[in-house]
Amino acid sequence: MRVFIFAAVLFSLAVLPAPAQSLAELSGGQQALDGSSDYQRHADLEKFNQADRQNELPPLTPLPAAQGPSLMSAARLPDIRLNENVIKHSVMDYKINPDIRAAAALYAAGDAQTAMQKYEDAIVSAEDDETSAQAAGDIAVIALGAGDYKKALHYAEQATQLDKQNPFYQLVKIWILAADGDAKRAKKEYDKLLFLTADFEYVSAAKLAIAQADFTANKQKEAIPALQNLYVSDPYVISHAVYLMGRTAFERGDYKAALTLFEQALAHDTNNYMAQKYSAVTLEKLGRFVPAWQTYASIFVLDTGDLETAKKIVNLSKYLKAAPADYLFYTRLNEILNKEPAPPSPSHMRVGLYAQYNGALTQVQSFAFLPGATFNIKDEKLGKVITGDGYVPKTIIFDKENKGVHIKNKWDTADFSTKRPFVIDLDKPGYTMLIRDVKTYNIFVTNTGDKELRGSLLVIPGESGMTLVNYTSLEDILPSVLISAARGVKEPAALEAAAIALRTRLLAELKNTAGGLYDIPDNTPLFNYGGVNMQSAAAKEAVKNTESITLAARTANSAQPAAPEIYRSCGAVSESDIKTAGRAAAGYVFSPSNLFKYMISNPPKDLISAPQDPTLWSSVKWIYSFPLKDIEARLAQNHAAVGALQSIEPAELSPSGRILAMRFNGKKGSVALPFEEANFILSASTLRSNFFFMLPFGRGAKTAENLFIGVDTGLGNGLCTDGADGMARAGKTAREILAHYYPGLSASK
């Protein structure tokens, strides 16, 4: 499993406001897509009306002369009802005919062939045009996602003819044309859209499609006006819009402006992988070689098979003045922080230390330990072999030639050598030892930050290094794990709810690992243990206040397991059907069209997981684009037998439309991968969740960029920590929060 760890090693970019002048310069004096195009400014009304009739648009009539000649000289006829009911129907209404719902369920289950046949039957035999339009619209959206633009446009045209006043199908046409590289025609269809709806989400989505099309076609100057408009008007698109503006500045050689824009993109969304990659290249262009090395390193951690980035790291390492690991911003501790003993805890936990991102433990080459009290070292066969005083450091080094280890003192002489496992114990329970200066063969495979540990340390020599396991207590590691899992959560009730859920999950893990070497690795998305030094007073208090409290099934027939899931941020539709907003996408049911509609819709204002600043809502709604060549490179690293990539499509969806598996179709074959593996291929594991819609944007006859529009984080199950924080701010207790997210479980000691 690949884990996105910008939080651990991300180069801390100084976020500067983008100068207004640089944005204006980038615009090149072009007008934004604000509806003031030639369609609206047409002087010859009769000719205009005739053209509209040919395109099945409503005719226009002149405004009263008193309005003035400088105004747009057209008005809608009374029979055109552009009102809240039309907007709600097109944006908020997810109702679909039962036949369409059945076809969508077949498609979600992976039976695309049968689903398509049902859609085709519905187009012909449906009792009303609206149902036929829904069937045609679903086929259009499916074909768009697969990059079959000709088929997509054919069915989108059918849908618009069948349901003329529904702006959604007009929007789909815009996206199809934009993805196919026909931005000129997409802009004309955009003008037609404005005669059907003024809804902000539709207009913003159309601008995004056209801007992405212009950018993909290397027409950056034409893309800038729409990007600037999105930058100032749509807080959910800021990171992607400013990233594309940064790319434009980069291409024209204005590296200072480009770096500022990439920094802004990352400030609004730390998961913007491409903004991070271009930051590295831009820093190198500006001669800032050390921060360039650091940024390349943070990217390389995500994809250690990226040979191009590996070469950059080697070439730039000559500018480093210290050991490379010291530039990765791993935790470095000079002394023990927790000098007071902790009370004893009966719950035991074995933590595998310095795990790789797939969960396997790294073979450590050397480390130092500083005990916080008198200690002893016990050899597996000989028993106690070393005793020592507190705060007297030792260094343990792996001997590659003899496959053993040497325990050295401060004079660099060996106190003891062995090939057998041994344990480092403190004589006084509750005190800590500091593990520091960890060395591995590859500094990028794991976070080698210093850790302060309670309990004992098991050291196991192997063929290529040492395996380290911390024998400790669940209650001791829980505050640190809680800080990682509930990052940014401040409300005590929310922290207590998360602590109970995490304790329950940890205890569940113990039941499955009794025969193994360790219970959990220290570096996974859910259980990230940085040592007892990585704690806060609030987290410690939450763990103390909930000591021994866990979740259990309310009844023997409860559908929910007693190993609860936890994720950071929830959208309006959770996989477990938990209501997260008063206006939570009422009546949402999956169909390809409904999924796309949901992705372009902005989150409700009363979403409980939303931060107060909507410009920081990237965990709720996010947009990324990735070059196809990057996806092809990662696919070739892991599945070379597939051959050159031709298309990507969902292989299996959940009932709500979440990606469970993706299929990668190549010239020599295809492979279906579960989301976790597909996420690495698509984005170096930087997609925030498995709830997204992917759109391939072409340049000529070949896809150049893949655009992802998604919502929330994780897999959409269990406790949403940001949502719990919102509920706590509204006065809910920890138990009330848990009852909301786990209705089948109850909290008790």
- For the stretch 674-695, pLDDT in tens is 999 999 999 999 999 999 999 9
pLDDT at 346: 79
- pLDDT of the residue at 483: 94
pLDDT, position 585: 55
Q: Are 62 and 73 in contact (CB under 8 A)?
A: yes
Q: How many residues does the chain have?
A: 749
What residue type is 174 in one-letter code? Answer: I
- Three-state secondary structure of 660-720: EEEEEEECCCEEEEEHHHHHHHHHCCCCCECCEEEEEEEECCEEEEEEEEEECCECCCCEE
Structure confidence at residue 673 (pLDDT): 97
What type of residue sits at position 560? Q
* Structural element, H or E, at residue 123: helix 112-125
Q: What is the pLDDT of residues 78-99, one digit of tens each?
A: 444 444 555 545 555 788 999 9
Q: What is the pLDDT of residues 632-672, one digit of tens each?
A: 999 999 999 999 999 999 999 999 999 999 999 999 999 99
Q: Rounded to two decimals, what is the model's pTM?
A: 0.85
Mean per-residue pLDDT, 134-141: 98
Cβ neighbors of 674 (< 8 A, separation 6 or more) are 660, 661
Task: Give the ranges where 385-530 is alpha helix by DSSP (H).
Answer: 474-485, 492-512
pLDDT tens column, 358-403: 789 999 999 999 999 999 999 989 999 999 999 999 999 999 999 9
Q: Which residue has the tokens 């996602």?
A: 145
Amino acid (1-letter code) at residue 92: M
Residue 615 is predicted with a pLDDT of 83
Q: In 46-73, which positions are buried (b, 16+ CB within 10 angstroms) versus exposed (e)?
A: eebbeebeeeebbebeeeeeeeeeeeeb
d(CA 253, CA 112): 46
- What is the arithmetic mean of pLDDT over 124-145? 96
Q: Does residue 293 have a pLDDT over 80?
A: yes
Which two tokens mark 98? 């039962």
Q: Which residue has the tokens 């009263």?
A: 64
Say if CB 522 and CB 528 are below 8 A apart.
Answer: yes
Determine the pLDDT at residue 661: 97
Residue 515's pLDDT is what?
Answer: 80
Query: Is the predicted pLDDT of residue 117 greater than 50, yes or no?
Result: yes
pLDDT above 70: percentage of residues in the chain = 86
**What architecture is domain 1-32+218-329?**
Alpha Horseshoe (1.25)
CA distances from 141 to 68, 323, 435, 694 (A): 43, 52, 54, 10
- CB-based contact 427:368 (threshold 8 Å): no
pLDDT at 713 over 50: yes
Q: What is the DSSP string of 93-122?
A: -----HHHHHHHHHHHTT-HHHHHHHHHHH
Fold classification of 81-193 (topology level): 1.25.40
Question: Positive or negative CA dihedral for 427, 432, 436, 442?
Answer: positive
CB atoms closer than 10 angstroms to residue 220: 22
Residue 555: which region, alpha, beta or left (left: phi > 0; alpha: psi -120 to 50)?
Answer: beta
In the numeric block, which tokens belong to residue 518?
């360790």
Place of tokens 């006006």: 225
Average pLDDT over residues 278-306: 96
Q: What is the pLDDT of residues 261-279, one digit of tens each?
A: 999 999 999 999 999 999 9
Residue 571: exposure state from Cβ atoms within 10 A (0-12, 13-18, ≥19): buried
Rounded to an integer, the average pLDDT of 728-742 is: 95
Mean of pLDDT values over 565-582: 83
pLDDT the model gives residue 85: 52
- DSSP H/E element including 232: helix 220-233
* C-beta atoms surrounding 454 within 10 Å: 24
516 pLDDT exceeds 80? yes
Average pLDDT score over residue span 38-44: 30
Which pLDDT score is estimated for 344? 82
Q: Is 585 exposed, middle or buried (0-12, 13-18, 19+ CB in 10 A)?
A: buried
Residue 31 has pLDDT above 60, yes or no: no
Give 3 or 588, the one with higher predicted confidence: 588
C-alpha to C-alpha distance for 707 and 503, rounded to whole angstroms = 38
pLDDT of residue 171: 96
Whose CA is closest to 39, among 220, 151, 187? 187
Decide if 173 contacts 166 (C-beta within 8 A): no
> pLDDT tens for residues 440-478?
998 998 999 999 999 999 999 999 999 999 999 999 999
- Choice between 110 and 617, residue whose per-residue pLDDT is larger: 110
pLDDT at 90: 53
pLDDT for 36: 30
User: How far, in Å, CA of 486 to CA of 587, rounded?
Assistant: 30
* CA–CA distance, 312 with 297 (Å, rounded to integer): 9
Per-residue confidence (pLDDT) for residue 500, from 0 to 100: 97
34 by DSSP, 3-state: which?
coil
Looking at the predicted structure, is the pLDDT value of residue 200 above 70?
Answer: yes
Q: 501: which residues sit within 8 A by CB, 6+ positions away?
A: 551, 564, 566, 718, 719, 738, 741, 742
Distance CA 49, CA 57 (A): 8
Q: In this structure, how many other beta carbons lie within 10 angstroms of the beta carbon of residue 333?
A: 16
- Mean pLDDT taken over the chain: 86
Domain with CATH 1.25.40.10 in the chain: 1-32+218-329
User: 29-38, 281-290, 590-599, 665-674 — which is least confidently predicted?
Assistant: 29-38
8 A C-beta contact, residue 490 and residue 538: yes
Q: State the pLDDT confidence band at 573, using cuts at 50, 70 and 90.
A: confident
pLDDT band at 511 (very low <50, low <70, confident <90, very high): confident
**243, 242, 327: which is closest to 289 by C-alpha?**
327
Euclidean distance between CA atoms 344 and 470, whole angstroms: 16
Residue by residue, DSSP assigns 148-191 as -HHHHHHHHHHHHHHSTT-HHHHHHHHHHHHHTT-HHHHHHHHH
C-alpha pair distances (Å), 462 with each of 157, 363, 405: 65, 8, 9
pLDDT at 67 over 80: no
Answer whether residue 60 shows pLDDT above 50: no
